[in-house]
């Protein structure tokens, strides 16, 4: 379970997040939506220990991310495309991540096969297309076979086959009892996979609940999104 409890984040005079609270439950896919600059990435970065909240707390399985031993075995995250150094090969990028968690090198080949990058593993990450870079980030997220997935716009740059693959991945994880929290701008895609929806606008949560409950007054997810974020800049 992912728990975000009254998280507030200020940067100078600007309030980026204002008392954000929601939960992502195990066995369900939670979609996290909002306009650009609403605070989605900021929330996820606080959850994953990259940024500090001004107040409030963000927990995974009742613990802070930084308190998890070998965190990639619990949480697999995709942010900013994965952050591989452009001069390093994909295999080398996954090798150091695996080494940091005590994960066997065999697992590297498994995740490369999973994301379809085995043939390009010895190419430098700097030569990758946007979609390939995204796949590499997903490979890193899956390296520890985690039960929790936190994905920030995972279908960004992927071709239709890749989008379908992501859909199957997240639904499969949830079906196995895992927790999936994913942000996306593709309402149609999210409507296919999400069980729960959290809507954020201007740093505040405007709706949170099952997708049926949130969407019911508006007809479809896109209409709900515009209605619930319509007051945002």
Partner 1 sequence: MIHLVRAEAVKLVTLPSVWLTLVVTVGAAPVIARAQRSWLPGESTITVLRLVPPYVLVGGAVLGVLVACGEYVSRQIVATLLAVPRRARFLVAKLVVVALAAVASSGGALALGRMSLSLSTWSLAEMRMVAIASLVHASVAVLSCASAVAIRHLVASTATVCGLILVAPVVLSPWPKVARWLVDAVGRDLYADTASLLLPSRQVAVALVAWVVGAVAIGAARLLCCDA
Partner 2 sequence: MSYFLAELSKLVGQPAVRAGSVVTVVAPAVIAALNGTSLAHAIEMGDQGAFLSLSTVDSGFSELAIGVVGVLIIAVVSVSSEYARTPAALGRTRQLSSTLVAMPVRTALAGAKIAVLVAWVLAISLVAIPAALVATRLSLGSHATAPNLWHAAGVAAFYLTMALLAQAVTTVLRSGILPLVIFLANSSVVSVGMLLLQVTSWAKYLPDIAATSLMFTEAEFTTGAAAVSRNSAPLGAATAVCVLLGWSALSVAVTVAVWARRDA
Task: By CB under 8 A, name the binding residues for partner 1.
Answer: 45, 48-52, 65-66, 68, 71-72, 75, 77, 79-80, 82-89, 92-93, 95-97, 99-102, 125-126, 140
For 39-61, b where at least 16 C-beta lie within 10 A, e where not — what string?
bbbbbbbbbbbebebeebebbbe
Q: How far is CA 195 from the centre of its chain?
A: 15
Residues 6+ apart with CB under 8 A from 233: 37, 202
* The entry of partner 1, partner 2, none that residue 29 binds, CB within 5 to 8 Å by partner kind: none
Neighbours of 19 (CB within 10 A): 14
DSSP state of 124: B
Distance of CA 226 to the CA centre of its chain: 22
Under rule CB under 8 A, residue 184 binds partner 2: no
Do residues 195 and 211 make contact, with C-beta atoms less than 8 angstroms apart?
yes
Degrees to nearest 5, angle at CA 153 with 213 and 120: 145
Query: In the complex with partner 1, which residue's Cβ is closer, 96 or 226?
Result: 96
Q: Does 137 bind partner 2 (CB under 8 A)?
A: yes
Cβ 178 to partner 1 shortest distance, Å: 17
Assess 183 for contact with partner 2 (CB under 8 A). no
Q: Which C-beta is closer to partner 2: that of 80 or that of 145?
A: 80
Q: With CB under 8 A, what is the number of residues at the site for partner 2?
A: 13
Kindly state whether residue 219 participates in binding partner 2, applying the rule CB under 8 A.
no
Length of the chain: 233
Q: How far is the CB of 209 from partner 1 (least distance, A)?
A: 29
Indicate whether 83 belongs to the interface with partner 2 (CB under 8 A): yes
Q: Is 133 in the site for partner 2 (CB under 8 A)?
A: yes
Q: Which of residues 38-57 bind partner 2 (CB under 8 A)?
A: 41
Based on the shown chain and the rule CB under 8 A, indicate whether residue 162 belongs to the binding site for partner 2. Answer: no
State the nearest-atom distance from the C-beta of 43 to partner 2, in Å.
Answer: 14
Place of tokens 């994913």: 182
Does position 82 bind partner 2 by CB under 8 A?
yes
The interface partner of residue 52, options being partner 1, partner 2, none and the CB cut-off 5 to 8 Å by kind, is: partner 1
Nearer to partner 1, 72 or 174 (CB): 72
With CA atoms as reference, report the closest residue to 9 among 45, 36, 35, 33: 45
> Which H or E run includes 132?
helix 130-142
Least distance from C-beta 226 to partner 1, angstroms?
31
Distance, in Å, from the CA atom of 91 to the CA atom of 66, rounded to the nearest integer, reads 26
Binding site for partner 2 (CB under 8 A): 41, 79-83, 86, 130, 133-134, 137, 152-153
């Amino acid at each position: 379970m992912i728990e975000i409890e009254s998280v507030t984040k200020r940067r100078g005079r600007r309030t980026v997040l204002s008392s954000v609270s929601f939960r992502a439950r195990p066995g369900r896919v939670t979609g996290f939506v909002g306009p650009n600059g609403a605070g989605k990435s900021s929330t996820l970065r606080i959850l994953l220990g990259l940024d500090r909240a001004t107040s409030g707390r963000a927990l995974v399985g009742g613990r802070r991310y930084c308190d998890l031993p070998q965190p990639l075995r619990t949480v697999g995250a995709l942010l900013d495309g994965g952050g591989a150094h452009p001069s390093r090969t994909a295999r080398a990028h996954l090798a150091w991540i695996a080494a940091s968690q005590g994960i066997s090198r065999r697992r590297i080949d498994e995740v490369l096969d999973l994301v379809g990058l085995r043939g390009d593993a010895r190419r430098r990450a700097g030569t990758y297309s946007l979609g390939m870079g995204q796949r590499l980030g997903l490979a890193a997220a899956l390296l520890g076979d985690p039960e929790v997935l936190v994905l920030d716009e995972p279908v960004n740059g992927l071709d239709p086959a890749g989008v379908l693959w992501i859909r199957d991945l997240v639904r499969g994880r949830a079906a196995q009892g895992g927790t999936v929290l994913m942000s996306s701008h593709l309402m149609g895609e999210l409507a296919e996979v999400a069980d729960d929806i959290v809507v954020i606008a201007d740093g505040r949560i405007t709706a949170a609940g099952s997708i049926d409950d949130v969407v019911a007054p508006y007809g479809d997810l896109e209409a709900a999104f515009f209605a619930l974020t319509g007051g945002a800049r």
